[in-house]
Amino acid sequence: MKKYVFIALIVLFWFNSFGQKKDDRPNILWLTCEDISPTLSMYGDSTAHTPNLDRLAKEGLVFDNVYAVVGVCAPSRSSIITGMYPTSIGTMHMRTALDIQSWGKRKYKKVGMGKDINGNPVPQYSAVIPEQVKCFSEYMRISGYYCTNNQKTDYQFAAPVTAWAENNTKADYTHAPGGMPWFAVYNHNVTHESQIWKRKNLPLTVSPDKVPLPSYYPDDSIVRRDVARNYSNIEALDKQIGEKIQKLKDLGLYDNTIIFFFSDHGGPLPRGKRLHYMSGLKVPFIVRIPEKYQKKYGLDPSKIENGHVKELISFVDLAPTLLSIAGYPVPDYMQGQAFMGPQKAKKERKYIFGTSDRFDEFTDRIRVVFDGRYLYVRNYYPERPLYKDIAYRKNIDMMNDLLRLHKLGRLNTEQNLWFRLYKTPEELYDCKVDPDNVHNIIDDPQYKDKIAELSKALDDFLAQTGDLGAISENQLVQNMWIGGVQPVTKKAVIKKEGRKIILTCPTRGASIGYIISDKDFTPDLNSGWEVYHEPIKVPKGKYLYVMTQRIGYKESDIVKKKF
């Protein structure tokens, strides 16, 4: 009998010990999508049937004022992963190179796809950002989160191996060690601009006759068909989102996971994507916080109106918000501010800032500020046309239709605005009465004070954050890659002190990734790397693999050592 009592006490001690060490932080799931505006029922547009997103919105919070910093993916994603404005770290030009998926492709062409503001061809490059700036997911990993990305990166620089525990099409939060909280990103491509033409022969699930059209579109069958395709793609997206949520429920993780849903920028259709107006910057954003986490991570109930949050939020705020939830101190250098969690900013944002520089073949420089109602636009090159004749988007039938109708003189004033040959130096729009941003009120004297306020806010923003768009992209590349040659991260130095192994890198700002293994093998560059942040122990007979990389630099060779 005593024997069984003793065993029971041992088991009880074991459970208590593990209970004390249990990590009670929430899992975090990002269900991201590409290229959609808030054209969903929770925002007042019920054209697409989206029962899964509707349910998520009903159980969660709908954020009415969330904005990308640029109306296109790569610069926008650079802001998300760093918590920095692209213009302040040199990631504002779309696109710098080929590092789009997973660990990326490391060969750069001498001539890229576009020209700088002076008309000179721009080479492909990986943006060398300030040495202190890291992917926020690296901090999440240091804090004890298992971080996975499935699959797109597209940060304007090659994602270091330290950014994600897994970074490929097989990345999955179910691979997280037991008891370890996880942060997982799943990107959904079905709503991307390219899917307007790649899926155009598939059956439409939304009738072209029933789609709403903004004032800047003519009403014809070609436009209606492509708009219907966009809504049909959103319905396909909803099914994919539903599958991800059902998986959480099946695994019993639904009430242990904070779910975020959002798009990387505004909608895919002409005069949406790449534009600095609401059509390009405003995104849908839903967050579901399980009840047990609402007190610690939720928002002030007084800020919520019927499940909707009115607070202004920029994409630079996502990184500090995730670190706030994870319990990792938000670095001082980050330009965003947390809107959830213990480190939530004491003051809400007063302004949203957006930028527009090179998009593929064409370069311009436009800066905007938005106060929740009024959008102020500053055009640095008003002599350049607003419309950019980008080859990629001319795969969309309605883009060619718009160009044809414009040439024939069959577009009305509002529909022709996009094709104007010159821009005014400044623009102002009242987004409450003019959500399509087609009535420029910059010359109306009654808005004199508002223009002065927003102009000063933009000046202050540019002075505080810096604006690398003030120099040509070629000069920017020369500053990053001296002599046009990518800098190389120096190899790690392995030093043993007693039973501990200390890793260092002579290159300032470099991150250090390592793998401890039983075998001699070639490491997978998309998974398995740990983030070095404190001395480690390597058991005798094990292999240690170490690789270093500063963002924008070429990664070091792998150093291998057997102990």
What digits encode the pLDDT tens for the residues 487-525? Answer: 999 999 999 999 999 999 999 999 999 999 999 999 999
Residue 286 lies in a domain: no
- Helix spans in 466-562 (H): 473-480
Name 427's bridge partners. Answer: 377
Distance of CA 442 to CAs 55, 187, 382, 452, Å? 41, 39, 14, 11
Whether pLDDT at 2 is above 60: no
Whether pLDDT at 20 is above 90: no
Whether pLDDT at 55 is above 80: yes
Residue 263 lies in a domain: no
Residue range 316-333: mean pLDDT, rounded: 98
Least confident of 17-21, 83-87, 462-466: 17-21
Query: How confident is the prediction for the chain on average, in pLDDT?
Result: 95
Q: What is the pLDDT of residues 238-272, one digit of tens each?
A: 999 999 999 999 999 999 999 999 999 999 999 99
Distance of CA 432 to CAs 61, 371, 376, Å? 22, 11, 14
Whether pLDDT at 18 is above 70: no
| Rounded-to-integer distance, Cα 488 and Cα 385, Å | 40
Residue 495 lies in a domain: yes
**Residue 194 in tokens:** 């390219």
| Rounded-to-integer distance, Cα 97 and Cα 112, Å | 7
Whether pLDDT at 296 is above 70: yes
Domain that holds residue 517: 487-562
Q: What is the pLDDT of residue 109?
A: 86
Residue 219 lies in a domain: no
| Rounded-to-integer distance, Cα 88 and Cα 55, Å | 38
Q: What is the pLDDT of residue 106?
A: 79
Residue range 301-307: mean pLDDT, rounded: 95
Q: What is the pLDDT of residues 118-129, one digit of tens each?
A: 999 999 999 999
- In which band, very low, low, confident or very high, does the pLDDT at 161 lie, cut at 50, 70 and 90? very high
Q: What is the pLDDT of residue 110?
A: 85
| Rounded-to-integer distance, Cα 353 and Cα 365, Å | 14
Cβ 494 vs Cβ 561: under 8 Å: yes
Residue 185 lies in a domain: no
Q: What is the pLDDT of residue 105?
A: 76
- In which band, very low, low, confident or very high, does the pLDDT at 63 lie, cut at 50, 70 and 90? very high
Share of the chain above pLDDT 90, in %: 94
Which residue, 249, 214, 258, 206, is CA-closest to 230?
206
CATH number of the domain bearing residue 509: 2.60.40.10
Residue range 201-229: mean pLDDT, rounded: 98
Residue 369 lies in a domain: no
Residue 536 lies in a domain: yes
Catalytic residue among 33, 73, 135, 505: 73
Q: What is the pLDDT of residue 21?
A: 52
Q: What is the pLDDT of residues 401-458, one digit of tens each?
A: 999 999 999 999 999 999 999 999 999 999 999 999 999 999 999 999 999 999 999 9
Whether pLDDT at 1 is above 60: no
Q: What is the DSSP string of 204-258?
A: PSS-GGG----TTS--SHHHHHHHHHHHHHHHHHHHHHHHHHHHHHHTT-GGGEE
- In which band, very low, low, confident or very high, does the pLDDT at 389 lie, cut at 50, 70 and 90? very high
Residue 282 lies in a domain: no
Q: How many domains does the chain have?
A: 1
Residue range 42-68: mean pLDDT, rounded: 98
Q: Is 73 designated active site? A: yes
The residues near 302 (Cβ < 8 Å, ≥ 6 apart) are: none
Dihedral (C-alpha) 314, 117, 480, 100: value to the nearest 10 degrees?
60
